[in-house]
Amino acid sequence: MPVPPSSPRRPVVLCILDGVGWGQRDATDAVFVAKTPVLDRLMAEHPHMLLTAHGVAVGLPSDADMGNSEVGHNAMGAGRVIEQGAKLVDAAIESGAIWESASWKQVVRAPTVHFLGLVSDGNVHSHVDHLRALVGRAAQEGVRRIRVHALTDGRDVSERSAASWITPLERELTGLIGPGGQPVDAKIASGGGRMNLTMDRYEADWSMVARGWACHVWGEGRRFTTATEAVRTFYEEDPKVNDQLLPAFVCEQGPLIRAGDSVVFFNFRGDRAIEISRAFTEPWAPPAGPQTQQSAVKFDRAGPLGQAPPQVTYAGMMQYDGDLKIPANFLVDPPLIDQTVGEQLAKAGLRTLAVSETQKFGHVTYFFNGNRSGRFDETLETYTEVPSDVIAFDQRPQMKAAEIVDVAIDSVQSRAFDHVRLNLANGDMVGHTGDFDATVSAMETVDAALGRLAVACQAAGAILLVTADHGNADLMFELDKRGRPVVVDGRARPKTSHTLNPVPFILVDPRREWDLDPSCITPDGEPGPGITHIGATLLHLLDVPIPAGYQRSLVTPTELR
């Protein structure tokens, strides 16, 4: 492909504004309500368009499926549409391939099979229909005792919707019949909110995993007769609590998971599945002292009376880390993503910096690199993690945006890297809390950080690409069929999940040597190509060959327009 006559190559900075979509531009939209003079100016003065970041355009089963951070970073780094976890699991269940896997056949040999994961239809980390299929098949194959450990969502779905899935699931479990018409002993045994128990990521807060382990394995939690009773009681006792943060509950006497049982973690997405998988699979030995940590698991898995953790057959819905083989047993093969942008840059000898805070660090590294933990070339790639605060995101909506941009600015000014990739997580992480005012504050923090980055890129002559992986902060309230906020008890019901909105893509070239390819541009306000096109765009700007099968680049040299 032709490149501008002013080469040698200039640095290209990719700034991902996580969760910042293009919404209705009204009072429901925190991106619109926030004061964002930098974002407004960049869109007014530089070529820009909207990109699709959800549905089939990013490898999800249908256009009703919202995008998410894992899929979004996979899509950008792969440069093409890759069938994602939800679609792969759907296909494996439909074809029956999942039941023929060696891991499944091993799982159903146990006297008790436990299914642990997120119970909702969010289809970001899991889907309740996958759980139903697993439970039903286990009963058909003669498993006589089944236990579900239900993590409530409120993040990828409505904030207080847990009973929508838990109540019918409990009815289905009660009515399970095995071979010969024999009833199956099946029930929900434990649970709690996903942001309180079990689903930590990137080792940001191992205490979440420790609480989940104590609940699911040892039966530590408030006791209820049913999970439905637990959810309703928590709602009544605290009108402000949502499903993300429900306390731990148990529905029978512990310990709940015993030696010789099988455990299936039925989430398909990897980032929030790795730590609990390690807890179930990594070796354990009695601690030599109170400060001793066993293996890489950052809490003691012994029981309340010092019991050793149960030895179980453990399987993930997918293998969550292919490099580290976590876990060794899994039911569905994960997507194979090769020839990623990161690999192409390393082959070309280009220097890369990836930087974000802990909450999104794996997204600009592991997911962007095609679910690969390591570097392609240790001498060319630098990964910088800014530790996240362990505090509710709505209490500190600025998060670590300033510190991340500090690192990016230093790299641009030093000219030490050809490509800089950063993620500012505020729009997504604060948006998930449902707190409108905090999300507005988060967006204003992001805008200020973006302004500093744009000034540094201007001074260095670096090309800046501004985009997002999916929407979230752009719609903060649930809407009715007329597009108006749903009001409950005089209060607009917060929306805590991602959106189906497109995301901005802005090309900021201080020298004006590059422009958007006219054939890619759609009318104002209309979504254009998918974020999968960003991969080819990066390689094009950096004068690196674009692999066959990539989506086309979004840019062209100005002289060719």
Task: Output the six-digit token pair for 474.
Answer: 């752009």
* Residue-by-residue DSSP string for 459-494: HHT-EEEEE-SSBSTT--B-B-TTS-B-EETTEEPB
Amino acid at site 447: D
What pairing do the DSSP bridges indicate for beta strands 249-250 and 185-193?
Answer: antiparallel
356 included as an active-site residue: no
Answer whether 418's CB lies under 8 Å from 350's CB.
Answer: yes
Which residue type does 201 have?
R
Residues 515 and 561: beta-carbon distance below 8 Å: yes
Strands in 362-418 per DSSP E = 381-386
391 CB-near residues (< 8 Å, 6+ apart): none
Q: Which two tokens stand for residue 377?
A: 């070339």
Tell me the one-letter amino acid at 186: A
d(CA 300, CA 199): 17
SS3 523: coil
- Alpha helical stretches, state H, 254-356: 274-281, 341-347
By C-alpha distance, which of 115, 274, 258, 243 is closest to 187?
115
| 355 and 407 Cβ atoms separated by less than 8 Å | yes
Neighbours of 380 (CB within 10 A): 19
Q: Whole-angstrom Cα distance, residue 332 to residue 315? A: 10
How far apart are the C-alpha atoms of 450 and 132, rounded to whole Å?
A: 44
Report how far residue 107's alpha carbon sits from residue 334's, in angstroms, rounded to the nearest whole number: 19
H-assigned helices in 217-293: 227-237, 274-281
Q: How far is 361 from 383, CA to CA, in rounded Å?
A: 9
Q: Which residue is listed with tokens 């095995």?
A: 178
Distance CA 511, CA 458 (A): 9
Cα 209 from Cα 221, distance rounded (Å) = 14
Cα 29 to Cα 55, 452, 486, 495: the distances in Å are 21, 24, 15, 11
Question: Residue 149: CB partners within 8 Å, gap ≥ 6?
Answer: 114, 115, 116, 117, 188, 189, 190, 191, 215, 216, 256
What are the residues whose beta carbons fall under 8 Å from the beta carbon of 242, sequence distance 6 or more? Answer: 154, 159, 160, 193, 434, 496
Given the residues 69, 103, 388, 553, select the one marked as catalytic: 69
User: Reduced to 3 states, what is the DSSP secondary structure of residue 187?
Assistant: strand
Residue 250 contacts residue 230 (beta carbons within 8 Å): no
Spacing of C-alpha 281 from chain mean position: 23
Q: Which helix (H) or strand (E) holds 191?
A: strand 185-193
Type of residue numbered 358: T
Residues that are catalytic: 69
